[in-house]
Structure 1
C-alpha cells in the first residue's frame, strides 16, 4: 500500500489561470496597436499638398512681418499658463492632508507647513522674477 501524503507536504504550484485574462488583454492591446500602425498608411488617404508638408505652428502662417489684427501669442502667455497649472497642481496635494489631518497629527502638520513654505518660496521667486506680469 502507498503512503498517503498530506496537503502540507506537497509542493504548492501557483495557479496561473487567474492571470490568463490579463495576459490576453495585453496581447490584444499589443496586437491592436501594431495592426493600427501597420494598416494606417495603407488604408488611410494620402493626399499630400503644400500645407500638409509645411511645419505646423498653431495654424498661423509663419511670416517675418507682424500680422495685422492678430499674430502669434506672446510666449509670456504660455509661461503664465504653465505656472498657473504648476501651482494649481501643487495645491491639489493639500486635499489629502485636509482629509486625514487628525490621523497625521503633529507630523502631518509639520510636513504640510514645510510644503506650503516651499510652494510659497517658489511663488515669491516667480513673482519677483516677473513671471506673473502680463506686460
Structure 2
C-alpha cells in the first residue's frame, strides 16, 4: 500500500519539477537587456496606436458567445445520443426531451432579455 503512495508522490514531484525546470531554463537563455526601445513599445497589428487604447465593447458580444456555447454543448450531447438512439430506450428519450426543454427555456429567456438583438 505504501508503494502506491510512493508512486503517486513520484508523479506529483515530476509534475511539479517539469514546469519549474522549463521556467528555470527559459530564465537562463532569455535576453537580459533590450538594446532597442522600439521592441518594448505596444503596437496593434504593426500600426502605432493613436488616441485612447482602451475601448469599451458592448456586453451583447459576450452574450452572443455564451448563447453560442450553450448550443454547442447541446450538439455535443445530441450527436452521441442520436447515434445510439435505437439502443437507449424510452428513458433516454425522455431525458433528452427534458434537456432540450431546458435549453429552449434558456433560449427564450435570452431572446426575451434582448441578448440576441444586434445593434
TM superposition score normalised by structure 1: 0.59
2:71 is aligned to 87
Q: Secondary structure at the match of 1:133?
A: coil
TM-superposed CA distance for 1:38, in Å, is 1.6
2:31 is aligned to 45
Indicate the structure with greater helix content.
Answer: 2
Q: State which of 19, 22, 34 in structure 2 corresponds to 1:36.
A: 22
Q: Secondary structure at the match of 1:89?
A: helix
Note if 1:121 corresponds to 2:105.
yes
Cα deviation code 1:23-63 (max 9, x no counterpart)? 67x83x54432111122223112439698587xx9x99572
Q: Secondary structure at the match of 2:75?
A: helix
TM-superposed CA distance for 1:84, in Å, is 0.9
In the TM superposition, 1:59-78 aligns within 5 A as 63=52, 73-78=57-62
1:134 is aligned to 118
Structure-1 separation of matches of 2:37 and 2:28? 18
Q: Extract unaligned runs of 5+ from structure 1.
A: 1-15, 66-70
RMSD: 4.0
Q: Give the structure, 1 or 2, with the largest relative contact order (CA under 8 Å, sep 6 or more).
A: 2
TM-superposed CA distance for 1:78, in Å, is 3.0
Note if 1:100 corresponds to 2:89.
no
Number of matched residues?
112
TM superposition score normalised by structure 2: 0.66
Q: Extract unaligned runs of 5+ from structure 2.
A: none
